[in-house]
A and B are shown apart, each in its own frame.
Chain A
Amino acid sequence: MPSEGRSDSLEFFAGFIDDYFAESDEHLSSIRHALLDLDASLGQPDMASPAIEELFRSVHSLKGLSGMVELRPAEQLTHEMESYLRGLQQREVALTRSGIEALIDGINTFEQIIAARRAERPTPDITAPLARIAALVTAVRSERRDIEGAVVGTGPGSTPATADADFRGRTWKFTFEPSAALVARGVKVDTIRARLAQLGRILSVSPKITSGGGIAFEFLVATEADEEKLATFGEDGVTFEVLHPAVAADADAAREAHVASSEAHVTLLETASVAAPTHFVRVDLARLDELMRLVADLVVTRARLDDQLSRVERSLPATDARALQEHAATMDRHLRDLREGIMRVRLVRVGEIFRRMPFAVRDLARDTNKRVRVELRGEATEIDKFLVERMMDPILHLVRNAVSHGIESPEDRIAVGKPPDATILLKASTAGESVVLEVIDDGAGIDTGKVMERARAAGFPVPEGTVDAGTLLGLICAPGFSTRQETDRASGRGVGMAVVRKTVQELGGTLALESNPGRGTAFKMSLPLTLAITDALIATVDRDTFAIPQGSVREVIEIDPASIRRVENNELITHRGAALPLLRLGRLFGVTESSRPRLHAFVVGTGLAAVGIVVDRIVGQREIVVKTITDSLIKVDGVSGATELGNGRVVLILDAVALAASARVDGRRHGDAGGARAATA
């Protein structure tokens, strides 16, 4: 410990506290995971122990860490949680729903303490959560006394469940090996577990690695069922064998087997946690950003080199020129590999966001008397660390919105023939250069009539007749729009749909909506995998050059100016059998328009939200380095960033989605607001 100077120790402490935050985050992440497992295993005491072990270890570590940085409230809180978990671990007390909720409460408070410390705000009050957990601990103590008093001579390891005395069945070992074919038929570990639970008592479950490298689950089940009844399991990839036919020996052996298997489990985990640090390096995100910036500089230099090369090419002997071209191409490839390598380092699993969601909706579901199950899919999908941080609030908002607005009460659901438990599916997947995040609920869908009514009341321009999903999305995302009659908990954070859409767009992504009346709502967010470098189409209008990220362009078309029709204030062409409104980039940006025999357009958006953005010429497609525009003087609608193409000049990157949106506003309002702004440029 440095003790020479105050500044030294402060610096030392500052470095240490950053480590503390990082480590706390890691532990919190595994705690959330374990709490979910624990929640799922409620009512099946034997299933809970791995989760309890995991929780115990993480909470214990948090307590130690908090003590080291002298964050007393955090230490106190984790201390109480640890005591309760120890009680659970030693089976002195049974796991209850209120117990799980107290733990969740405790962890949420812990997070708030950390957040407060990070932001240098005063520590939140921990009295209530602390008391809640302390009450559980008191229960443990009294129960411990009861057991000690009543069962003299029996070790604490004996479970209270001794109703097995007159049990006449046998213990079986079932091995289930999941496969894609089985999953397709709906046969998963959970379904097998549920069926086995009906058959008898599940003594233990443990995952095993099969000789083929796959995963199998071993269930030890005490059941009175005979072999004939078990035969049906064979069809679902389950093999079984009897372990102990004798009853008396059975219970003990099963318990032993269980103890052995849970010990094995613990050893496995401990080995992993000991080995893990040697394989992982914790890196400050800023350092990766710096590397990414250097690569971006390289990409620009390479573009300049290419530029120069093509200029001198003709004056060089053919063999020299070819050799140079080859080297340039090789460098290009290496550069791409390098860039991808660095990008991969920045990727984290999307599960980091997803796993918070079930906790986020618990209170809200309870307060609104709804029954909600959150299902996670594609948790292992990797996404840029920066995106994870930025997407947390929007996803939280969508999930809470689904609970407060999308999902019906259990009674209403039963009335329309739906299961009383609603499902919110959080799904992540990759598609080409994008990550797709979806929030799908099986609720009532969006009430289009109500949205329109509300929009009219709020003075938004509302089209007559039926509206498509794009327009509907536009309305609910409009700043100041809300169908809420009163403020609810979900709106407490001040993140509305407008912010959801803005965040997605700022990250260069798109937001789409699908709503089926009576069947549910789905929000789909497509985000670019890479932020700093992207493929773009380069276009010119008069003497200006623009770049449009390729991900936002659906199609590139050529237009004969003679085919353009004027309808009121709009220009339209027929494209693929439908009318496609055109948006003249030159006019929008106040650039002199040239009359050309052929024009080109980018088609962005789909369905009724589709717009053709007209430019003079499309010069080509290339990799661009995206530089963000931060200064308010040049932050304008329709421009998402800047890049350079090798000559040092700034080329603006267009935000196609915002442009299309401004076109809609201009068209409907006959170009008052947007048009006036364009005219001043």
Chain B
Amino acid sequence: MTDITMDAFNESYILFTLAGTTYALPSRDIAHMEMVEHITAVPNAPSYVEGVVFSRGQVVPVVNLRVRFGFERASPDLRARLLVVKVGERVVGMVVDSAREFATIPASAIQPPHTAIAGLSGDYLEGVAVLGERIVLLLRVNDIIPGTVPTGA
């Protein structure tokens, strides 16, 4: 990360994979990344909530993005990562299959989401970028993290 670009149109992203698809989130939304260790299940929480962990001394809920996006639940392996994102005041963890790359994506490479792209993640899509041979789906973090309590209090 020595090459910090001040160009507002070129934003830095973290790329991660879920069920074979590559997604990207702006790095400014991501507080840090961790290996996935023990996650304590929280009974009666929504199904896409994997549980809760301590991250830097804080109690952080963990969302299973596979479940959130409607893929099959898979138990995290060594490649799995916990992306800890900041959404306003909230800090939430997201389990992804793997996350290994940073990429600077020029604004010119981003297209609005294609109407023909179907799938649950469609609701959270900011746009689609083509990086060389790969197609990357750009996500909006605010929309991924639900703000309301689904289990009526």
A residues near B, CB below 8 A?
Answer: 297, 544, 588-591, 627-639, 641-642, 644, 648-652, 677-678, 680-681
Q: How far is the CA of A635 from the CA of B40 in the complex (A)?
A: 14
A650 close to B59 (CB less than 8 A): yes
Q: Provide the residues of chain B in CB contact with A636, threshold 8 Å.
A: 42-45, 151
A589 close to B43 (CB less than 8 A): yes
Q: How far is the CA of A636 from the CA of B44 in the complex (A)?
A: 6
Tell me the residues in window 72-111 of chain B with beta carbons closer than 8 Å to chain A beta carbons: 90-92
B149 close to A632 (CB less than 8 A): yes
Give the residue of A590, A630, A642 whose beta carbon is less than 8 angstroms from that of B43.
Answer: A590
Q: Which of B47-55, B124-132, B134-142 contacts A (4 or more CB under 8 A)?
A: B47-55
Give the residue of A627, A630, A639, A648 whose beta carbon is less than 8 angstroms from that of B42.
Answer: A639
Q: Provide the residues of chain B in CB contact with A631, threshold 8 Å.
A: 59-61, 90-92
Interface SS of chain B: loop
Q: Closest approach, in angstroms, between the C-beta of B16 and any C-beta of chain A?
A: 20
B40 close to A650 (CB less than 8 A): yes
Q: Provide the residues of chain A in CB contact with B91, threshold 8 Å.
A: 631
- Look across to chain A and name the residue whose beta carbon is closest to the beta carbon of B148: A632
Q: How far is the CA of A588 from the CA of B44 in the complex (A)?
A: 9
A627 close to B59 (CB less than 8 A): yes
B54 close to A635 (CB less than 8 A): no
Q: Closest approach, in angstroms, between the C-beta of B106 and any C-beta of chain A?
A: 34
Q: Closest approach, in angstroms, between the C-beta of A231 and any C-beta of chain B?
A: 68
Q: How far is the CA of A648 from the CA of B147 in the complex (A)?
A: 27
Interchain residue pairs with CB less than 8 A apart (15): A544-B41, A630-B59, A632-B149, A633-B46, A636-B44, A637-B151, A641-B59, A650-B40, A650-B51, A650-B54, A651-B40, A652-B52, A680-B44, A681-B43, A681-B45
Q: Provide the residues of chain B in CB contact with A630, threshold 8 Å.
A: 59
A650 close to B52 (CB less than 8 A): yes
Known: A678-B43, A681-B42. 13 other contacts (CB 8 A): A297-B57, A628-B59, A630-B59, A633-B145, A633-B149, A634-B42, A636-B43, A638-B43, A638-B44, A644-B54, A650-B59, A681-B45, A681-B47
| Interface size class of chain B, counting residues whose CB lies under 8 Å from the partner chain | 20 to 34
B52 close to A634 (CB less than 8 A): yes
- Does B153 make an interface contact (CB < 8 A)? yes
- Look across to chain B and name the residue whose beta carbon is closest to the beta carbon of A642: B59
- Look across to chain B and name the residue whose beta carbon is closest to the beta carbon of A678: B44
Q: How far is the CA of A630 from the CA of B60 in the complex (A)?
A: 9
Q: Closest approach, in angstroms, between the C-beta of A498 and any C-beta of chain B?
A: 11
Q: Which of B49, B63, B91 has the most CB of A within 10 A?
A: B49
A633 close to B40 (CB less than 8 A): no
- Does B20 make an interface contact (CB < 8 A)? no
B residues near A, CB below 8 A?
Answer: 37-47, 49, 51-54, 57-61, 63, 90-92, 145-149, 151, 153
Q: Provide the residues of chain A in CB contact with B145, threshold 8 Å.
A: 633
- Look across to chain B and name the residue whose beta carbon is closest to the beta carbon of A629: B59
Q: How far is the CA of A644 from the CA of B57 in the complex (A)?
A: 10
B149 close to A681 (CB less than 8 A): no
Q: How far is the CA of A588 from the CA of B37 in the complex (A)?
A: 25
Q: Closest approach, in angstroms, between the C-beta of B60 and any C-beta of chain A?
A: 8
- Look across to chain B and name the residue whose beta carbon is closest to the beta carbon of A586: B43
A648-B37, A648-B54, A681-B41 known; A637 vs B61 contact (CB < 8 Å): no
Q: Closest approach, in angstroms, between the C-beta of A442 and any C-beta of chain B?
A: 36
Q: How far is the CA of A591 from the CA of B41 in the complex (A)?
A: 10
B149 close to A635 (CB less than 8 A): yes
B63 close to A633 (CB less than 8 A): yes
B54 close to A589 (CB less than 8 A): no
Q: How far is the CA of A677 from the CA of B152 in the complex (A)?
A: 10
Q: How far is the CA of A155 from the CA of B44 in the complex (A)?
A: 79
Q: Provide the residues of chain B in CB contact with A590, threshold 8 Å.
A: 43-44
Q: Provide the residues of chain A in CB contact with B54, threshold 8 Å.
A: 627, 642, 644, 648-650
Q: How far is the CA of A652 from the CA of B42 in the complex (A)?
A: 8
Give the residue of A588, A628, A649, A681 whose beta carbon is less than 8 angstroms from that of B40.
Answer: A649
B46 close to A588 (CB less than 8 A): no
Q: Closest approach, in angstroms, between the C-beta of B76 and any C-beta of chain A?
A: 15
Q: How far is the CA of A637 from the CA of B152 in the complex (A)?
A: 10
Q: How far is the CA of A680 from the CA of B47 in the complex (A)?
A: 7
Q: How far is the CA of A635 from the CA of B39 in the complex (A)?
A: 16
A650 close to B53 (CB less than 8 A): yes
B151 close to A677 (CB less than 8 A): yes
Q: Provide the residues of chain A in CB contact with B38, threshold 8 Å.
A: 648-650
A637 close to B44 (CB less than 8 A): yes
Q: Provide the residues of chain B in CB contact with A639, threshold 8 Å.
A: 42-43
Q: Provide the residues of chain A in CB contact with B148, threshold 8 Å.
A: 632
Q: Provide the residues of chain B in CB contact with A633, threshold 8 Å.
A: 45-46, 49, 61, 63, 92, 145-146, 149
Q: How far is the CA of A350 from the CA of B47 in the complex (A)?
A: 44
Q: Provide the residues of chain B in CB contact with A648, threshold 8 Å.
A: 37-38, 54
A589-B43, A651-B40 known; A634 vs B147 contact (CB < 8 Å): no
Give the residue of A588, A591, A628, A634 whose beta carbon is less than 8 angstroms from that of B61.
Answer: A634
Q: Provide the residues of chain A in CB contact with B46, threshold 8 Å.
A: 633
Q: Closest approach, in angstroms, between the C-beta of A624 and any C-beta of chain B?
A: 13
Q: Provide the residues of chain B in CB contact with A641, threshold 8 Å.
A: 59
